[in-house]
Amino acid sequence: MSKVNVFFATGYEEIEALTVIDILRRAGIETNMVSVTGEMEVTGSHGITVKMDTLFDEKDEADMLVLPGGMPGTLNLLAHEGLTAKVKEYCSNGKYIAAICAAPTVFGKLGLLKERRATCYPGMEDELFCEEALEDAVVIDGKIITSRGMGTAIDFALALLTVLKDEEVAEDMSSKIVYRV
């Protein structure tokens, strides 16, 4: 069984974070909401406060790390030294890391996209420091998955489901949620 940790910082983008959690949980994937703030409740960029499953210091290993975007959430994720160390560790160990909207710039600033293709929120491509910035809804380059923003959150979540389970499971989920049927 796969396990995913989604990291929340103050100012996260609510739809990007919660869409991933909802779709992965519907598919039976253990998906943890992890606060990097030291508090069990984290407020997003649009004033929605969500109770977390665990704090960063209490979280355990997973098969994939996910960073939602949003401002200042993305900057707060980048400022968390424990999280950035964990992201680099996962990347160097060949584990999945994923980010959406502004959050792929965290990977870029950590030097993880140098020889990769990636996407992010329009206008932030210079902060990816990648080989090729694309405008695709979702870009999968090896074990790094990036996406553009709130409007691509379902595509992003289904892409994560595809790599964690398979294409058939993702297509079935797409049908069940009446997405592009």
Q: What is the CATH number of the domain that holds 156?
A: 3.40.50.880
Q: Residue 16 falls within a domain, yes or no?
A: yes
Q: Residue 181 falls within a domain, yes or no?
A: no
Q: Residue 76 falls within a domain, yes or no?
A: yes
What pLDDT does residue 73 have? 98
What pLDDT does residue 59 have? 64
What pLDDT does residue 181 have? 53
Q: Residue 153 falls within a domain, yes or no?
A: yes
Q: Residue 57 falls within a domain, yes or no?
A: yes
pTM of the model: 0.96
Structure tokens at 23: 């779709």
CB 50 within 8 A of CB 41: yes
Active-site residue set? 101
Specify the number of domains making up the chain. 1
Q: Residue 148 falls within a domain, yes or no?
A: yes
Q: Residue 24 falls within a domain, yes or no?
A: yes
CB 27 within 8 A of CB 49: no
* CA–CA dist 44, 48 (Å, integer): 5
What pLDDT does residue 177 have? 97
Q: What is the pLDDT along the chain (181 residues), one digit of tens a residue?
A: 699 999 999 999 999 999 999 999 999 999 999 999 999 999 999 999 999 999 998 767 899 999 999 999 999 999 999 999 999 999 999 999 999 999 999 999 999 999 999 999 999 999 999 999 999 999 999 999 999 999 999 999 999 999 999 999 999 999 999 997 5
CA 46 to the chain's CA centroid: 18
What pLDDT does residue 61 have? 87
What pLDDT does residue 60 have? 76
Q: Residue 94 falls within a domain, yes or no?
A: yes
Q: What is the extent of the structural domain holding 13?
A: 3-176
